[in-house]
Amino acid sequence: MKSNSHFPRRSFLTTSVAAASAAAATLAVPGLAARRAAANNASDLIIGEGDYQFRVHHNWAQLPDKFTWQTTHNVAVDKAGNLYVIHEGRANQKDHPSIFVFDSTGKYVRSFGAQFQGGGHGIEVRQDGNEEFLYVCAYQNIKSFAKLSLTGETVWQQYAPMESGKYSEGEDTLARDGKVDMKKAWGKDKFLPTNFAFLDDGGFLLVDGYGANLIHRYDKNGKWQSCFGGVGQGQGTFQTAHGLWIDRRNSEPVIVVTDRAHHTLQRFKMDGTYIDTISGFGLPANIDILGDLMLVPELHARISLLDKSNKVVAHLGADVQRVVQTKGLRERPQEWQDGKFVHPHDACFDPQGNIYVAEWVATGRITKLEKIA
């Protein structure tokens, strides 16, 4: 596992078809197509090869009948092995939870977070002293981020960092007062946060991936410090800086940001200085790291695994061409294929090396990839 000391991310703690096809060709890894084992059921469906083989459990987490998935977005794991799932939710269902908790067998435990309905997006677990906390961010009409207990009690909740000088007048107060006009909610001077990364000093980074495309730095008390990035064509600027993490696999830690619409990862020094760009992905959405292995969920229908030299060692569940060429597939589960992904929006390791995948699909879907020893 990894937190601030090399634990995996969630423990302790309309793009062109041409572009997608090019990405698929660039990173093609032969022999990773799904294959069925002797018995013909989901628990015997194996994907991957060599050291990177996983048993597929689609729809692993099941909700009680009184709830429904509403576009699953992100996932996180705590020390006890519980999985936290956040979905976007519908703004007109104010009493419906946006966060659901499942035990290590996939059994529903509890739910909360109705305040994020309509905009639920990023979620992480972090160890703070002797206690774990959730960090949650929401976009759309919510425009907020918060620190919660594992049972949903709010420690603090914040809105657009107006002291940065990057946001339109009232961007914080309109959200706080629940008066966001959705016709004016999006733009380069709007606050639409998407994900977090945790710093060794107790602070954290927050990426405004759907708004100003800025990486904001906060101290351990949640006070804004600085920012870098912004909207642009790469090499330090972004088109949808959707996810990020701290890569500590080598001697010097670096910040890695998914520049989604450019199909790349960008790397930065810890002070925000641009280093380089890794290309060849298909709408990369977020990052997790376990040991020497980096995990990148891609909305263009696959999970990529990279070694510490950032070389691709496996693609899992790839169905790139079919997905990017089939309009509306996310809304037609009857056409989804076993062992293939549609739109992985987030994924995380657990301490045993299993992978949990949340997909941006209309019905929601959580898949467990059970690592084969």
Range of 86's domain? 17-371
Q: Does residue 279 form part of some domain?
A: yes
Q: Does residue 148 form part of some domain?
A: yes
125-149 average pLDDT score: 97
**Among candidates 356, 354, 357, which has minimal Cα distance to 344?**
357
pLDDT digits (tens, 9 = 90+) for 314-351: 999 999 999 999 999 999 999 999 999 999 999 999 99
Q: Does residue 362 form part of some domain?
A: yes
CA 347 to chain centre: 6
- What's the number of domains the chain is made of? 1
Distant-in-sequence contacts of 330-337, Cβ < 8 A, 24+ apart: 330/359, 330/360, 330/361, 330/362, 331/361, 331/362, 333/361, 333/363, 333/365
Q: Does residue 307 form part of some domain?
A: yes
pLDDT at 185: 93
Q: Does residue 2 form part of some domain?
A: no
Q: Does residue 308 form part of some domain?
A: yes
pLDDT digits (tens, 9 = 90+) for 255-313: 999 999 999 999 999 999 999 999 999 999 999 999 999 999 999 999 999 999 999 99
Q: Does residue 11 form part of some domain?
A: no
Q: Does residue 125 form part of some domain?
A: yes
> In this structure, what CATH number is given to the domain that contains residue 49?
2.120.10.30
With 0.75 as the threshold, say if the pTM is over it.
Answer: yes
